[in-house]
Structure 1
Amino acid sequence: METHELHRGRLIDHIQLVVKDLPASKVFYTAVFKALDIPLSGSGDDYFWADELFVSTADSEAANGELTGRHHLAFQAQDKAMVDAFYKAALDAGGKDNGAPGIRKYHPGYYGAFVIDPDGNNIEAVFHGEAKRSAASVVVTF
C-alpha cells in the first residue's frame, strides 16, 4: 500500500446536526465523547457542542426550523480499546448497533465500530492503525 501524507488544515470546519430530541442526543453524545476523551464544550437550552460538532433543536437560530437528514460521522480513536469503549458507551446510551468493533477492509489496519444515534445518524469511531503524526493536534488561536 502506498504511503499517504496530508499537508493541509482541516477539510471540515464544523458541522451541525439538528435533532428532534435534544436530551436523548445529549445523553448519547456525552457518553460517546467521554469514551473518546473529547470534552463537551458547552450547551444552552437548544444546543450543545464538542469541538466543531454542534447539535441543536430545530428551534435554534441556526437551524431555521429544519431537521438535518441522515449523516455518517466518523470520530478518530487513539487505539482499538477506545473504539471498543465508544461502541459500548454508545449502545449503553441508547445507540443501536450498526457494526460491532472490528477490522474493516477499507485499508490495512482500519479498526472501526458503527452505531445509529437517536436520530438515525450512522456514527463511527475508527482507529486507522499505527501511524506517525507530525503533531498530536493543530492549535488555532484567535
Structure 2
Amino acid sequence: METQELHRGRLIDHIQLVVADLGACRRFYEGILRELHIPIGGTAEDYFWVDELFVSSAQSKAAQGQLTGRHHIAFQARNRAMVDAFYKAGLDSGFRDNGAPGERPYHPGYYAAFLLDPAGNNIEAVFHGEAERSAPSVKITF
C-alpha cells in the first residue's frame, strides 16, 4: 500500500454525500475548489474525495444504495477574493446561487458566499477575517 497523507485538525473527521448525478457534482466541486486552492484527492468510477469530504453515487459500497439529504458544508477561504472567486466559478459553470458574497451577521468580519451543488446541498466559502493560525493543519501520514 502506498503512503497517504491527510491534513486534519478540526472537529469533523469526514463527511460523505451520496448523490444521484456524480458527474455533475464532480464538475461543481472541481470548479469551486480550484478557486479555494483545494485539490481533488482522488477519484474512482463511483466516488471522489477532497480532504474530509467524500462524494459518491448510490452504487458505491459505502452508500448502501441510499442518497443523503440536503446538507450545508462550509469551506474555509484565505481571503475575501477567494470567496468571490468561488462564487464566480460556480455561477460561470451554471450552478445556482444561494447567497452572493458579502458580510454576514454571524460575527464581525464573517464574509461568505453560498452555492447549491447539483444535489441541492448548500455549499459555502467563508473567510473569517484576518487571523493567525498556529499551523495550516495537522499532517497525518500512514
TM-score, normalising length: structure 1: 0.92
2: CA distance, partners of 1:93 / 1:66: 27
Distance 1:69 1:96, change over 3 A: same
1: CA distance, partners of 2:20 / 2:107: 35
Superposition deviation, residue 90 in structure 1: 1.3
What amino acid sits opposite 2:115 in the alignment? V
What amino acid sits opposite 1:135 in the alignment? A
Aligned partner of 2:63 in structure 1 is 63
Judge conservation of contact 1:114–1:122 (CA < 8 Å) in 2.
yes
What amino acid sits opposite 2:29 in the alignment? Y
2: CA distance, partners of 1:65 / 1:133: 40
Aligned partner of 2:44 in structure 1 is 44
Superposition deviation, residue 94 in structure 1: 3.1
Helix, strand or coil at the partner of 2:10:
coil
Where in structure 2 are there 5+ consecutive unaligned residues? Answer: 1-8
| Higher relative contact order, structure no. (Cα contacts within 8 Å, ≥ 6 residues apart) | 2
Aligned partner of 2:121 in structure 1 is 121
2: CA distance, partners of 1:94 / 1:53: 22
1: CA distance, partners of 2:91 / 2:107: 26
Superposition deviation, residue 140 in structure 1: 1.4
What amino acid sits opposite 1:54 in the alignment? F
Q: CA RMSD in A?
A: 1.2
1: CA distance, partners of 2:140 / 2:129: 26
Q: How does 1:74-93 map to 2 (within 5 A)?
A: 74-93=74-93
What amino acid sits opposite 2:119 in the alignment? D
Percent identity, aligned pairs only, is: 69
Q: How many residue pairs were aligned?
A: 135
1: CA distance, partners of 2:93 / 2:17: 18
What amino acid sits opposite 1:101 in the alignment? P
